[in-house]
Amino acid sequence: MSENLMLSEIQLENVFAVVGFKDVRGIKVKEILKQDPGQIILIAEFINGNPEEKLLAYVNFKNGYPTTDQVFDSIYGAGKECDLRIILFNNKAGYDGRNPTADDYIISPATDVLNDYGVNLMLVESGESCDAFQWVNDDLFGLYKADHKLSFSDLPSDEQFRAEEFWSLYFDSLNECFHEPRNAFRYGFRTKNDWGHEPYIDPIGKINVYWRDDGVKYVIKKDQDNYGYLEKVLCAAGSEIISRYGKDNVSFRYDRGALEMVIHYSVAPFSWMMIATPSVKMEFAEKLHADVFGLRSRLMEVYEDIEEALVQAAEPLTF
C-alpha cells in the first residue's frame, strides 16, 4: 500500500518562507482535512513577526498539477476563513486524467484574478523530493498587494466560480483550436443565469445554452434579420427535433415577434455541478458538447437544403 502524502513542519516553514514569510515560528498543524497517497489538505497556525498575531494557513498539496478544485476549496471551502492559502503541486504525471483544469498554465493566471480580491492565494511548485519550492505566481508587489482593486466581500459567488469553470474549461476544452484556457476567469465570472455557450447556425441564428436550477436548456433564436429563414428551418426540422428530445421537452415562444425554440436537454440541476468530480463533469461536458453541436450541424443542413430549393425555384426556365 502506498504511503500517505506528508508535509512536515520544516517543509511548511520552507514553503512559508518562499512566499514571503521570513520570520515564521510556532508552526502548528491544527487540522488535517484530507490525507491519502495523492493529496494532503491541512490548516496550520503560525506566527510571523508579531508574537501577538497568529495567522492561519490553508495548505493543499497534491501529486500532479494544480487544479481549480484546489482553488475552489481554498477560497469557498475549508480555507475560507484563513489568512493565507497555498496550493502545492509537483508536476508528477498520471494523476489528472480527464481534468482540463489541471495545469499551472491555467491556475497561475486564475490566481492573479482572484488575488485582486485580496484572497492571498499562492501557487507553489515542489521538487520531486519535496525539499525545494518555487513560488509560481509571484509578482513585484509581494504577498500582500497594496493595490487590491476589490475586497474579499466582492468576490464572485461559489456558483459563479463553478459556472465559469465549467463553460470556460470543461466545455470549451472540447472546442480544440478555439480553446484559450489561460483566459479562464480573466474576463469576469458568468452566473448560472447567463448563457454558457452560443454556437451559431450561420448565418441565420444561434443556440444559447443555459444551465440553471431546472437543468440544461437550448434557446434557438434568430441572428439579425434573416428573412424568416430560421422559422422555415425550425418548422421543417420540428418533428425531427421533437422525436430526438421528446414532445414535452420542446416548446416554441415568441420574443419581440421572432419565433424561438426552447429545448430542455437535461434535468440535472446546476447544483449537481457544484460537487461533481472532474471526470464526471468532463463526461457530462462531452455529451452536452456532442449533442448541441450535432443539433447545430443538422439545422445547418436543413437551412442549406431550404436555401438550395429556393434558389432553384427562382431560376428562370430554359428551353
Q: Are 273 and 167 in contact (CB under 8 A)?
A: no
Dist. CA 251–CA 236, nearest whole Å: 15
C-alpha cell of residue 19: 512566499
Q: What is the mean pLDDT of the chain?
A: 91
Alpha-carbon radius of gyration of the chain = 25
Q: Are 244 and 188 in contact (CB under 8 A)?
A: no
C-alpha to C-alpha distances, 194 to 109, 167, 302, nearest whole angstrom: 23, 11, 28
How high is the pLDDT of residue 316?
Answer: 61
CATH for the 160-312 domain, from 3.30.1460, 1.10.10, 1.10.287, 1.20.1530? 3.30.1460
**Which strands make up the sheet holding 121-126, listed edge to edge?**
24-36, 39-48, 54-62, 84-89, 121-126, 133-135
Q: 65-107, pLDDT tens digit by residue?
A: 999 999 999 999 999 999 999 999 999 999 998 999 999 999 9
How high is the pLDDT of residue 140?
Answer: 45
C-alpha to C-alpha distances, 29 to 25, 75, 85, 245, 276, nearest whole angstrom: 12, 19, 14, 53, 29
- DSSP, collapsed to helix, strand or coil, labels residue 96 as coil
Q: Is the pLDDT of residue 127 over 90?
A: no
- DSSP, collapsed to helix, strand or coil, labels residue 186 as coil
Instruction: Please report, rounded to a whole number, the percentage of residues in the chain having pLDDT higher than 70.
Output: 92
Q: 183-240, pLDDT tens digit by residue?
A: 999 888 999 999 999 999 989 999 999 999 999 999 999 987 667 899 999 999 999 9
Q: Which of 13, 85, 1 is nearest to 47 (CA)?
A: 13
How high is the pLDDT of residue 190?
Answer: 92
Q: Which DSSP string do the residues of 188-245 spell out, in sequence order?
A: ----TTS-SB--EETTTEEEEEEEETTEEEEEEEE-S--TTHHHHHHHHHHHHHHHHH
Q: Is the pLDDT of residue 313 over 90?
A: no
How high is the pLDDT of residue 288?
Answer: 98
Dist. CA 268–CA 119, nearest whole Å: 31
Q: 206-219, pLDDT tens digit by residue?
A: 999 999 999 999 99
Q: Is the pLDDT of residue 167 over 50?
A: yes
How high is the pLDDT of residue 309?
Answer: 83
Which are the contacts of 158, defined by CB distance < 8 A and separation ≥ 6? 72, 76, 274
Q: Is the pLDDT of residue 300 over 50?
A: yes
Residue 142, phi-psi category: left (phi > 0), alpha (psi -120 to 50), beta (remainder): left
User: For the chain, which residues make up each domain, given as ranges?
Assistant: 9-155, 160-312
Burial pattern 230-260, b for ≥16 Cβ within 10 A else e, equals bbbbbeebeeebeeebeeebbeeeeeeeebb
How high is the pLDDT of residue 278?
Answer: 96
Q: Are 87 and 112 in contact (CB under 8 A)?
A: no
- Mean pLDDT (whole number) for 252-266: 90
Q: Is the pLDDT of residue 315 over 80?
A: no
Q: H or E stretch including 24?
A: strand 24-36
C-alpha cell of residue 167: 463553460
How high is the pLDDT of residue 139?
Answer: 64
Q: 136-150, pLDDT tens digit by residue?
A: 987 644 554 445 667
What band does 64 get if pLDDT is binned at 50, 70 and 90? very high
Dist. CA 193–CA 167, nearest whole Å: 13
